[in-house]
Amino acid sequence: MVDSNQRSSANCDGQVSKGAVDFPKEIISDILSRLPIESIFTCKIVCKTWCDIIRDSYFVNKLCNSHYHPTRLILKPLRGRVTSDTSSHLLLVDIEEQKTRRIPVDKMLLGLRIMCICNGLLCLALGNKIDPVVIYNPITREHVVLPSLGSKPTLCNHKVGLGFDPSSGKYKVVQAYTLYSNNGKMTRFEIISLGESSWRELSAPQGMLDLAVLGVVFWNGALYWKMIDGIDIDIVEFNLSDEKFHAITFPENFSHFQPQAPLQLMDSGGFLTIVERSSGQIKLWRLMRNKIGEDSSVSLQQTYDTHVNWGNAVYYEIIGDSTHNSYLLKVGFRNSQCERCEHLTQFFPQKRQYSHLDIPSLPDRFYTVCLKPSLVSPIAASLRSN
Contact present, 222 and 172 (Cβ < 8 Å): no
- 61 and 75 fall within a common domain: no
Contact residues for 247 (Cβ-Cβ < 8 A; gap 6+): 236, 237, 295, 296
- 184 and 237 fall within a common domain: yes
Percent of the chain with pLDDT over 70: 83
Of 347, 363, 358, 279, which is closest to residue 91 (Cα–Cα)? 363
Phi, psi of 345 (to 5 degrees): -140, 145
Q: How far apart are CA 93 and CA 204, in angstroms?
A: 38
**Averaged pLDDT score across all residues of the chain:** 81
For residue 5, the model assigns a pLDDT of 44
For residue 13, the model assigns a pLDDT of 52
Q: pTM of this prediction?
A: 0.85
Kindly tell me if the per-residue pLDDT of 199 is higher than 90: yes
Residue 28's CB is within 10 A of a number of other CB atoms, namely 18
- 251 and 332 fall within a common domain: yes
- 58 and 75 fall within a common domain: no
| Residue 16 pLDDT class (50, 70, 90 cuts) | very low
- 244 and 115 fall within a common domain: yes
Is the model more confident about 3 or about 300?
A: 300
| Residue 281 pLDDT class (50, 70, 90 cuts) | confident
- 299 and 326 fall within a common domain: yes
The answer to whether position 2 is within a domain reads no
Q: How far apart are CA 90 and CA 87, in angstroms?
A: 9
Percent of the chain with pLDDT over 90: 31
pLDDT in tens, 147-198: 998 776 667 788 999 999 999 999 999 999 888 777 777 888 999 999 999 9
Kindly tell me if the per-residue pLDDT of 244 is higher than 80: yes
For residue 292, the model assigns a pLDDT of 56
**Distant-in-sequence contacts of 285-293, Cβ < 8 A, 24+ apart:** 287/248, 292/221, 292/239, 292/241, 293/239, 293/242, 293/244, 293/246
The answer to whether position 1 is within a domain reads no
pLDDT in tens, 90-120: 999 988 888 898 999 888 898 899 999 999 9
**Distant-in-sequence contacts of 308-314, Cβ < 8 A, 24+ apart:** 308/354, 309/279, 309/280, 310/279, 310/280, 311/279
Indicate the range of 13-17, 43-47, 135-139 predicted with least confidence.
13-17
Q: How far apart are CA 375 and CA 140, in angstroms?
A: 6
CATH code, domain carrying 379: 2.120.10.80
Q: Where in the sequence is the domain holding 292, given as residue range(s)?
A: 70-385
| Residue 142 pLDDT class (50, 70, 90 cuts) | very high
Kindly tell me if the per-residue pLDDT of 329 is higher than 50: yes
Task: Report the pLDDT averaged over residues 201-223.
Answer: 85
- 164 and 211 fall within a common domain: yes
Kindly tell me if the per-residue pLDDT of 309 is higher than 50: yes
Q: How far apart are CA 213 and CA 232, in angstroms?
A: 12
Kindly tell me if the per-residue pLDDT of 217 is higher than 70: yes
H/E stretch holding 63: helix 57-64
Q: How far apart are CA 361 and CA 380, in angstroms?
A: 34
The answer to whether position 282 is within a domain reads yes
Residue 83's CB is within 10 A of a number of other CB atoms, namely 15
Task: Report the pLDDT averaged over residues 124-150.
Answer: 92
| Domain count for the chain | 2
- 146 and 65 fall within a common domain: no
Q: How far apart are CA 128 and CA 155, in angstroms?
A: 6
- 232 and 130 fall within a common domain: yes
Q: How many Cα atoms within 13 Å fall on the side-chain side of residue 113? A: 16
Residue 11's CB is within 10 A of a number of other CB atoms, namely 16
- 52 and 192 fall within a common domain: no
Kindly tell me if the per-residue pLDDT of 350 is higher than 50: yes
For residue 207, the model assigns a pLDDT of 73
Contact present, 340 and 331 (Cβ < 8 Å): no
| Residue 20 pLDDT class (50, 70, 90 cuts) | very low
For residue 82, the model assigns a pLDDT of 43
Task: Report the pLDDT averaged over residues 26-33.
Answer: 82
For residue 384, the model assigns a pLDDT of 73
- 105 and 206 fall within a common domain: yes
Task: Report the pLDDT averaged over residues 322-332.
Answer: 86
Q: Assign 33 to helix, strand or coil.
A: helix
Q: How far apart are CA 48 and CA 167, in angstroms?
A: 32
Contact present, 279 and 309 (Cβ < 8 Å): yes
- 148 and 158 fall within a common domain: yes
DSSP one-letter code for 188: E
For residue 185, the model assigns a pLDDT of 76
360, exposed or middle or buried, with CB in 10 Å at 0-12, 13-18, 19+? exposed
